[in-house]
């Protein structure tokens, strides 16, 4: 752990030096606000992209034990008690916070709690929430943090257009960052116009072009402020049922996914999203047996067809779509095997030892774990945590 903290200190010092130089060059300027209408809603073709900064990351990985590397892959739902013990015992990559973690607390209390998590960790943690607006508002549902909860982006757009959406997304990002939260599990990229579908209230629009514009603008806004995002829920919920309750099957042809569902994800990736969350729906045209979150074929689409080289993470493995069909330890191993870099879960006490054992017995190559950890650390470095 001492070697890891030393490597982290070196990375932080380098980051501070770069920041000082940037400030000296242009002390009076600040990041421009995004205009959503001009955000890139379509992926650029033939455009050169800047290689991610990987300075010091390989050295960090070399100094990690296998236990520490496996722990980085876990994005765990924060427990009510014993959070700091979990951080130390399982070397966690991140915590996901929920409404109960904010209920009736002041901003100062929340910041102190999150700081205690970071202090307990050898490697700075990803601290995430679902703050979509509308029906999913973990933070702003607390009137001590915002007078009223953030409305859904689609309602904001209906009342004030793109300018209102832009201002709301910026306010949202700044609120989360002020509390010590560094990742918003958003924006929602799902496209549906079916009022009876599970995702209708959370989807921005039935028009993939409008959803793409919203996603591109949000990702750009958040990137400018140093807030991480997770595009969700790949390959797109569409009109399907709630995987919190049971498995959901999507029987539409692949060409329909390409024409509509993939578009917002492509826009978010082109805008620099650091993470994509994969849903538990079965994409029958690609894999008739496994949910997308546990399907190697679906993950190949993200890597090969959409050219995404960031962090891929599962939706919560405690959802019924998974637990009704497999147990926790099998799910964690299957999730890593098929290409997830991070595993979102509740039952880390079962899933962490199962994944660690699978690597130790050669079921999963350590080189694959190293590649996932490199993507995770690269994301953390981009967010200014390293």
> What residues act catalytically?
244, 315
Q: Which residues of 38-55 are buried (b: 16+ CB within 10 A; e: fewer)?
A: ebbbebeeeeeeeebeee
CA distance 90 to 302: 28
**Lookup result for tokens 């067809």:** 305
Element counts in the chain: helices (H) and strands (E)? 14, 13
Residue 271 CA to residue 31 CA, distance in Å, equals 16
Q: Are 302 and 234 in contact (CB under 8 A)?
A: yes
d(CA 125, CA 369): 18
The alpha carbon torsion through 325, 290, 276, 341 (nearest 10 deg) reads 80
HSE value, Cβ hemisphere, 13 Å, CA-based, for 369: 25
Question: What is the rounded radius of gyration, in angstroms, for the C-alpha atoms of the chain?
Answer: 20
| Residue 131 main-chain phi, psi, to 5 deg | -125, 75
H-assigned helices in 150-274: 153-179, 208-225, 254-256, 262-270
Say how many C-beta atoms besides its own lie within 10 A of residue 261's C-beta. Answer: 23
User: From the centroid of its chain, how far is CA 268?
Assistant: 12
Please state, in angstroms and rounded to a whole number, the distance separating the CA atoms of residues 232 and 299. 14
Cα–Cα distance measured from residue 152 to residue 134, given in angstroms and rounded to the nearest whole number: 4
**Rounded to whole angstroms, how far apart are CA atoms 155 and 133?**
9
Positive or negative CA dihedral for 141, 144, 147, 153? negative
């Amino acid at each position: 752990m001492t070697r890891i903290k030393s490597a982290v200190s070196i990375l932080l010092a380098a980051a501070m030096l770069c920041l000082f130089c940037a400030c000296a060059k242009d002390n009076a300027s600040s990041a421009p606000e995004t205009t959503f209408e001009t955000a890139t809603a379509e992926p650029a073709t033939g455009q050169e992209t800047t290689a991610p900064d990987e300075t010091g990351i390989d050295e960090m990985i070399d100094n990690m034990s296998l236990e520490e590397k496996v722990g980085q892959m876990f994005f765990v739902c924060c427990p009510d008690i014993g959070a700091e013990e979990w951080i130390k015992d399982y070397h966690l990559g991140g915590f996901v916070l929920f409404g109960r973690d904010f209920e009736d607390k002041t901003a100062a209390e929340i910041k102190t709690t999150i700081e205690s998590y970071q202090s307990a960790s050898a490697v700075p943690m990803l601290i995430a929430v679902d703050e979509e607006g509308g029906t999913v508002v973990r933070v702003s549902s607390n009137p001590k943090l915002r007078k009223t909860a953030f409305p859904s982006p689609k309602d904001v757009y209906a009342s004030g257009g793109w300018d209102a959406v832009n201002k709301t997304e910026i306010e949202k990002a700044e609120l989360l960052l002020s509390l010590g939260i560094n990742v918003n599990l958003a924006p929602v990229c799902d496209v549906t116009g079916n009022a009876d579908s599970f995702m209708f209230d959370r989807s921005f629009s039935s028009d993939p072009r409008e959803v793409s514009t919203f996603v591109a603008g949000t990702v750009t806004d958040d990137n400018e402020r140093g807030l991480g995002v997770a595009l969700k829920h790949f390959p797109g919920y569409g009109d399907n049922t709630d995987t919190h309750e049971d498995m959901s099957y999507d029987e539409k042809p692949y060409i329909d996914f390409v024409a509509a569902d993939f578009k917002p994800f492509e826009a978010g990736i082109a805008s620099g999203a650091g993470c994509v969350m994969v849903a538990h729906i079965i994409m029958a045209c690609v894999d008739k047996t496994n949910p997308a979150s546990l399907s190697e074929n679906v993950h190949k689409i993200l890597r090969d067809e959409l050219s995404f080289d960031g962090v891929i993470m599962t939706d919560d493995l405690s959802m019924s779509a998974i637990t009704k069909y497999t147990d926790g330890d099998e799910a964690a191993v299957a999730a890593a095997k098929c290409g997830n870099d991070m595993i979102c879960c509740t039952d880390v006490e079962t899933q962490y030892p199962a994944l660690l054992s699978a690597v130790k017995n050669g079921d999963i190559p350590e080189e694959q774990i190293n590649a996932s950890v490199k993507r995770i650390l690269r994301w953390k470095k981009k967010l200014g945590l390293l």
